[in-house]
Amino acid sequence: MIPVRGYEGHSVGVLGLGRSGLATARALAAGGAVPVCWDDNEDAQDRARVEGFLVADLSKDRNWDGIGCLITSPGIPHLYPAPHPVIAKAWDMGAVVDNDVGLFFRSYGTPEWDGFDILPRVICVTGSNGKSTTTALIHHILQEAGRDVQMGGNIGRGVLDLEPASDGQITVLELSSYQTELARSLAPDIAIFMNLSPDHLDRHGGPGGYFAAKSRLFTAGGPDRSIIGVDEVEGRYLAAQLRETQNSGEPVIRISSGRKLQGDDWSVFARKGFLAEWRKGRQVASIDLRNMRGLPGAHNHQNACAAYAACRSIGLAPRVVETHLASYGGLPHRCQIIAEKGGALYVNDSKATNTDAAEKALLAFKNIRWIAGGQAKDGGIAALKPQFDRLRKAYLIGDAAEEFAEQLDGYPFEICGTMEQAVARAAADAEAGDVVLLAPACASFDQYSSFEKRGDAFVAAVNSLND
């Protein structure tokens, strides 16, 4: 745990008592503050009381006596579509509003650092897609290379649940737009912007607000090095702005998946399955990604470029990075290779909850026996039609099955209903060289409580098959 600094002896409001909220309350208490906790959910209130925290309804004026700061959980809206009533109350009471990420950066550096031989560093990863894989990949490479490294944020442990920094330690954080938007303190040493696609637009008041929330990690954080995905216009804009305002050393590394990057700056890009690093107009390294089973498809090649650039910035040699890229096994539910049976590959991409993510999965493979369906999103799978020629057959589950069957436009399909039946039917049809791919293009909530539970059901069904 990282004790929060700067609030000793003061009462601090904590809004939202899920994983990050309770970790925040514990870290505040460890730093000598008095957390005053609130959650609209009574079960969450009870969990806080069990841990001995004071619980008070912060929508009531009477409970704000002595509270000058409110720490809110990331999922609670503070501006759009409307501020949560407790956040609005904090403003009315003259309190500042922050989140756990702001507290982390406020508290991470301590006087003990003066005795360290190598200062600790923080690498932060943000963007619309690939954050979790990139964060886990950087952590894997550094750990396998013998570095002292820990990982958290939007993946694994909450930021305040991490260990206090040790000599030379590297902390890798995945940060969502919800986390970067509100944090009053941001100070990454290396910051990564992966990409941008429409998401959470109601929460950010449109695409401009969404991009502004992501870009705060760079514009407010002032990292020593920025690694910027430039496959979208927003990334190209951000890279140009950072190059213009930071003119010492090589502050920006541009990354891309699918095209060669021009110019004399530092760049890392992947084309036709090969990663290339260029500096000062010349190629300095090349890596063949094509047979790295934990990193299938162009989207994972972008993740590899980002992780490679971060590890090079830390000082790892290209061949060291290559070795540990090859040993990466992938994250659960994200193009995760589960098994090979009868020459057919079984891949779990339950995290593909929309057409954008499903398209990336479809593009990563050929001869696909596609398990899709669930709780449909607007437009269904019509946007995926250009990828239908990669399919051998679709096996449709959940509420969306009938709608998807109509949108397949003559391509072969079977309505299976359940995951177990879909896996069984796909396995019965599969031939050597086929890929049985779960990429639902749907939310899970018609049949499962989360995409993780849906992916677990796929894995269980695959494991129950006879070899």
Q: What does the pLDDT read at residue 348?
A: 97
Structural domains for the chain:
11-98 (3.40.50.720), 104-326 (3.40.1190.10), 336-463 (3.90.190.20)
**H and E: helices and strands count for the chain:** 15, 20
In angstroms, rounded to a whole number, what is the distance separating the alpha carbons of residues 69 and 71?
A: 7
Q: What does the pLDDT read at residue 250?
A: 75
Is 373 annotated for ligand binding? no
Query: Dihedrals φ, ψ of 178, to 5°?
Result: -60, -35
Name the DSSP class of 399: T
Residue 376 · residue 397 · CB < 8 Å: no
Q: Is the dihedral of CA 283, 288, 289, 292 positive or negative?
A: negative
In angstroms, rounded to a whole number, what is the distance separating the alpha carbons of residues 462 and 467?
A: 10
In angstroms, rounded to a whole number, what is the distance separating the alpha carbons of residues 143 and 153?
A: 18
Is 129 annotated for ligand binding? yes
Contacts of 411 (CB under 8 A, 6+ apart): 388, 391, 393, 394
Q: Which residue, among 373, 330, 331, 362, has the nearest Cα to 437 in the 3D structure?
A: 362
In angstroms, rounded to a whole number, what is the distance separating the alpha carbons of residues 230 and 245?
A: 18
Name the DSSP class of 225: E
Concatenating the DSSP letter of every residue in 295-346 gives S-HHHHHHHHHHHHHHHHHHT--HHHHHHHHHT----TTSSEEEEEETTEEE
Is 154 annotated for ligand binding? no
Contacts of 408 (CB under 8 A, 6+ apart): 381, 388, 394
pTM (2 decimals)?
0.91
Is 209 annotated for ligand binding? no
Q: Which residue, among 407, 403, 401, 373, has the nearest Cα to 387 in the 3D structure?
A: 407
Is 132 annotated for ligand binding? yes
Q: What does the pLDDT read at residue 197?
A: 84
Is 131 annotated for ligand binding? yes
Is 127 annotated for ligand binding? yes
Per-residue pLDDT of the chain (467 residues; tens, 9 = 90+): 999 999 999 999 999 999 899 999 999 999 999 999 999 999 999 999 999 999 999 999 999 999 999 999 999 999 999 999 999 999 999 999 999 999 999 999 999 999 999 999 999 999 988 999 999 999 999 999 999 999 999 998 999 999 999 999 999 999 999 999 999 999 999 999 999 887 778 888 999 999 999 999 999 999 999 999 999 999 999 999 998 654 555 799 999 999 999 888 999 999 999 999 999 999 999 999 999 989 999 999 999 999 999 999 999 999 999 999 999 988 899 999 999 999 999 999 999 999 988 999 999 999 999 999 999 988 999 999 999 999 999 999 999 999 999 999 999 999 999 999 999 999 999 999 999 999 999 999 999 999 999 999 999 999 999 86
In angstroms, rounded to a whole number, what is the distance separating the alpha carbons of residues 271 and 269?
A: 7
In angstroms, rounded to a whole number, what is the distance separating the alpha carbons of residues 146 and 45?
A: 42
Q: What does the pLDDT read at residue 355?
A: 92
User: CA dist 217 to 124, 127, 200, 357, Å?
Assistant: 8, 11, 17, 24
Q: Which residue, among 366, 336, 346, has the nearest Cα to 461 in the 3D structure?
A: 346
